């Protein structure tokens, strides 16, 4: 216990706080960068898709759109196919032959009522889960074994017993209301490699940073209260239990009292002498006799300068 106290007394809190902020900032940044790095394919797919969407809305089915679709499909391992359909669901463009082989039409019909799934009318074993544009990157990409994500999918399909025999794809689609043409992006949700592990590491790091802050604040108050000749253990314990709440109480408590300029002990405002070292911490104004603090240069009641040489009380 004494060695610990010695350690706390020697600890430079300013330097430690600076090191703490810099190191945790760097580590957190590294975690975020690693997560962004392993997600780069999904992020670039989302950006490419946004670009495709803009072109489709502004220009319709043009050469530029076809080039962008080809790039979208070739850049991402997740994408099985990108298909453009006209208003009769005739395939007018496809990036490859996956899933549709040599079909000339692709008609998707709702699968069940309000299930959010579509079914290929000519191939009932292929289901398409409609995904909104903002859900381009799914939680499931990061947490492949997330029970909740799977439960949600299973709940939607409990009424259908032969779901296991079907292959499910994710479908993002764009539709032009005037021409009724559609762009369908069909993909498979492939978990991002290492993403789950990286999220775990980031979570553990955040926990550690929080713990160091929590304990560090208690240690600082412990040291500070010790210097003010207060019950350091009690204040330290209070901060350890209540953290910020106790810290605010400590600051208010300090504000409402005064510090002996000689020994640093926290004293009641009304004390004329320090109860710890006996130093006189209050004196009276030569002009109005009001009580003034030992450190005051001017009287707070009459404003006259405190003449320490005349008063014989010079520091």
Interface residues with Zn ion (CB under 5 A)?
260, 262-263, 265, 274, 276-277, 279, 285, 287-288, 290, 299, 301-302
Cβ proximity to Zn ion: between 64 and 287 the closer is 287
Shortest gap between Cβ of 24 and Zn ion (angstroms)?
38
- The answer to whether the Cα torsion of 128, 129, 132, 135 is positive or negative is negative
Cβ atoms within 10 Å of 46's Cβ, excluding its own: 18
Please list, in sequence order, all residues whose beta carbon lies within 8 angstroms of the beta carbon of residue 208, skipping any fewer than 6 positions away: none
Cβ proximity to Zn ion: between 59 and 280 the closer is 280
Shortest gap between Cβ of 279 and Zn ion (angstroms)?
5
Shortest gap between Cβ of 264 and Zn ion (angstroms)?
7
Alpha carbon distances (Å) from 73 to 82, 98, 185, 296, 311: 6, 11, 9, 76, 89
Return d(Cα 98, Cα 186) in angstroms, integer: 10
Residue 44 is encoded by which pair of tokens? 């670039």
Cβ proximity to Zn ion: between 37 and 261 the closer is 261
Residue 284 is encoded by which pair of tokens? 């009276």
Return d(Cα 51, Cα 68) in angstroms, integer: 8
Distance of CA 185 to the CA centre of its chain: 31
Shortest gap between Cβ of 278 and Zn ion (angstroms)?
7
Return d(Cα 150, Cα 168) in angstroms, integer: 13
Cβ proximity to Zn ion: between 69 and 265 the closer is 265
Shortest gap between Cβ of 206 and Zn ion (angstroms)?
43
Torsion of CA 124, 128, 129, 130, to 10 degrees: -130
Torsion of CA 138, 79, 132, 173, to 10 degrees: 180
Shortest gap between Cβ of 268 and Zn ion (angstroms)?
12
Cβ proximity to Zn ion: between 221 and 260 the closer is 260
- Geometric angle at alpha carbon 37, from 34 and 42, rounded to 5°: 130
- Phi/psi for 228 (5° steps) reads -90, 10
Cβ proximity to Zn ion: between 212 and 277 the closer is 277
Element (H, E) at 85: strand 79-85
Cβ atoms within 10 Å of 281's Cβ, excluding its own: 22
Cβ proximity to Zn ion: between 180 and 256 the closer is 256
Q: At what angle do helices 244-255 and 195-227 cross, to 10 degrees?
A: 20
Shortest gap between Cβ of 266 and Zn ion (angstroms)?
10
Shortest gap between Cβ of 275 and Zn ion (angstroms)?
8
Cβ proximity to Zn ion: between 217 and 260 the closer is 260
């Amino acid at each position: 216990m004494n060695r610990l106290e010695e350690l706390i007394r020697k600890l430079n809190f300013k330097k430690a706080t600076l090191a703490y902020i810099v190191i945790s900032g760097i580590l957190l940044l590294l975690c975020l960068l690693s997560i962004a790095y392993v997600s780069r394919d999904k992020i670039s797919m989302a950006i490419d898709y946004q670009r495709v969407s803009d072109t489709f809305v502004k220009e319709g089915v043009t050469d530029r759109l076809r080039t962008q679709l080809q790039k979208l499909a070739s850049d991402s391992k997740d994408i099985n196919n990108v298909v453009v359909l006209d208003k009769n669901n005739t395939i007018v463009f496809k990036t490859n032959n996956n899933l549709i082989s040599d079909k000339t039409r692709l008609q998707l019909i709702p699968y069940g009522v309000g299930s959010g799934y579509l079914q290929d009318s000519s191939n009932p074993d292929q289901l398409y889960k409609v995904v909104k544009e903002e859900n381009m990157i799914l939680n499931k990409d990061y947490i492949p074994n997330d029970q909740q994500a799977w439960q949600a999918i299973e709940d939607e399909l409990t009424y259908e017993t032969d779901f296991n025999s079907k292959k499910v794809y994710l479908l993002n689609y764009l539709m032009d209301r005037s021409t009724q043409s559609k762009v369908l992006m069909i993909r498979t949700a492939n978990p991002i490699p290492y993403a789950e592990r990286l999220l775990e590491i980031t979570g553990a790091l955040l926990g550690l940073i929080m713990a160091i802050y929590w304990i560090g604040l208690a240690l600082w108050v412990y040291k500070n209260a010790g210097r003010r000749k207060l019950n350091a253990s009690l204040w330290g314990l209070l901060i350890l239990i209540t953290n910020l709440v106790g810290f605010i109480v400590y600051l208010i408590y300090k504000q409402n009292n005064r510090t002996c300029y000689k020994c640093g002990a926290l004293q009641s405002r009304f004390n004329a002498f320090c109860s710890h070292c006996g130093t006189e911490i209050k004196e009276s104004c030569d002009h109005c006799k009001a009580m003034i603090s030992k450190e005051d240069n001017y009287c707070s009641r009459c404003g006259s300068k405190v003449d320490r040489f005349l008063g014989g009380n010079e520091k």
